[in-house]
Amino acid sequence: MAVARLSGLKRFVSEALRERVKERDKHVGSTDPVREGPSWPYVTGDKIAARVTREQGTPEKSRKQLIRRLKRFRYPYITSHPYGPRNTRGKSFYRHAQGLGLLDFLLKPPFLWEIRRAWFFRRHYELEKQLRDRKQSQHGYPLAFHREMMLAIASHLERISRIARKHRVPRKWFEDHYAQTLEQLLSEASVCYPELQRWLTPTGRLRPHSLGVELQVDIFDAIAAEFARRKIDSKTLAYQLTALICSPQSCITTRTLHPSPDLVRRNIRDRKTKP
C-alpha cells in the first residue's frame, strides 16, 4: 500500500512540477543570463530563499567578497603542512589570476552569476538544515503536518482522477479544482522533499553525493571550459579555484578551505566515473 501511495505521489508531484515550469517559462525571456532564485521549490512563499536573497545582496557585493578571498589565500593552497593548510611564499590567487588574465572572467558575468548561485544554494541549504534538525518547516509548522497533508492531497487527486475515468468525464470539467490541488500538493511536497526535482532527472544525469557536490561540479566545469578556451593547462588551479569559491564565508577568517582542493578533485573524479 505504501509503495502504491508513493508511486501516485511521485506521479502527481511530477505533473505539478511540469505545469509550474511551463507557467514560469512563459514569463522568463530566453536571453536571461541567470535565475537569481533557487531552482526548487518552484513555488511562491519560500521564506528561506527571500532571506538568502537579502543576505546575498547585489552582484557588486559578491564581487567584493570574491576579491577578498582571492587576495586572502596564496597559490598554491597547500594542505599537507603539519600546522594546517598554508603558503606564505607564493603569490595570492588574485595576483596569480591577474597574471593569467583571468580576473575579468572570475569577477564579471556570466561566471559571477554561477558564483552567486553556488553561494545562494549553500546558504539556503544551511538554513534549511537548521530547521530540519528541529523537525520544523520554514512556515513554522511541524514537518509531520506537511507530510500528512502531502499524502492526503495525493490521495484526493487519485480518487477524483479515478472517478473521472470511471464516468468518462474529461478533466476540463474540473480543471480549475485540479490545478489548484496540484499547486497545493507542490507546496507541501517542496517542504518534505527539497530536492524533489531529481524525480524528473534521468538517473544517468544524477551527480553523486549531494547538492554541495553539484555546485562544485558546475563551478569546476565553467572554469575548465574557460581554461580550455584560453589554452590554460592547469587542473590544479581549476580545483583550487573551485574550492576557494565553494567554501563558506568563514574561510576568510579561518584561512581554511572547505571543501579542500583534494576533496573537489575526488568529487570531480567520482562524477566522471560513476553513473
More confident residue, 27 or 93: 93
Q: How far is residue 59's CA from residue 65's CA, in Å, rounded to a whole number?
A: 10
Which of 45-59, 187-201, 252-266 has the highest average model confidence (pLDDT)?
Answer: 252-266
Unique residue bearing C-alpha cell 530540519: 132
pLDDT of residue 1: 41
pLDDT over 80 at 129, yes or no: yes
Task: Please state which of the ranges 134-138, 199-203, 225-229 shows the lowest mean pLDDT.
Answer: 199-203
Q: Whole-prediction pTM value?
A: 0.75
72 and 247 Cβ atoms separated by less than 8 Å = no
Angle, alpha carbons 137-143-147 (nearest 5°): 125
pLDDT over 80 at 184, yes or no: yes
| Torsions phi, psi for 163 (to 5 deg) | -65, -40
Which has the closest alpha carbon to 65: 263, 270, 247?
A: 247
231-244 as b/e: b if 16+ CB within 10 A: ebeeeebbbbbbbb
Which has the closest alpha carbon to 76: 199, 247, 260, 219?
A: 260
Task: Please state which of the ranges 6-20, 52-66, 232-246 shows the lowest mean pLDDT.
Answer: 6-20
Q: What is the DSSP string of 168-199?
A: T--GGGGHHHHHHHHHHHHHHHHHH-TTGGGG
Q: How far is residue 267's CA from residue 275's CA, in Å, rounded to a whole number?
A: 13
pLDDT band at 160 (very low <50, low <70, confident <90, very high): very high
The cell for 74 is: 596564496
More confident residue, 158 or 90: 158
15 and 182 Cβ atoms separated by less than 8 Å = yes
Angle, alpha carbons 143-51-72 (nearest 5°): 120
What is the per-residue pLDDT across 94-118, written as a single tens digit (0 to 9) for each?
999 999 999 999 999 999 999 999 9
Angle, alpha carbons 134-135-139 (nearest 5°): 100
How long a stretch of residues is the chain? 275
Residue 156's identity, in one-letter code, is H
CA dihedral 84, 112, 103, 101 (to 10 degrees): 110
Give me the long-range contacts of 240-245 (CB less than 8 A, separation at least 24).
240/75, 240/76, 240/77, 240/93, 241/93, 241/97, 241/106, 242/216, 243/77, 244/69, 244/70, 244/73, 244/77, 244/93, 245/66, 245/69, 245/115, 245/118, 245/219
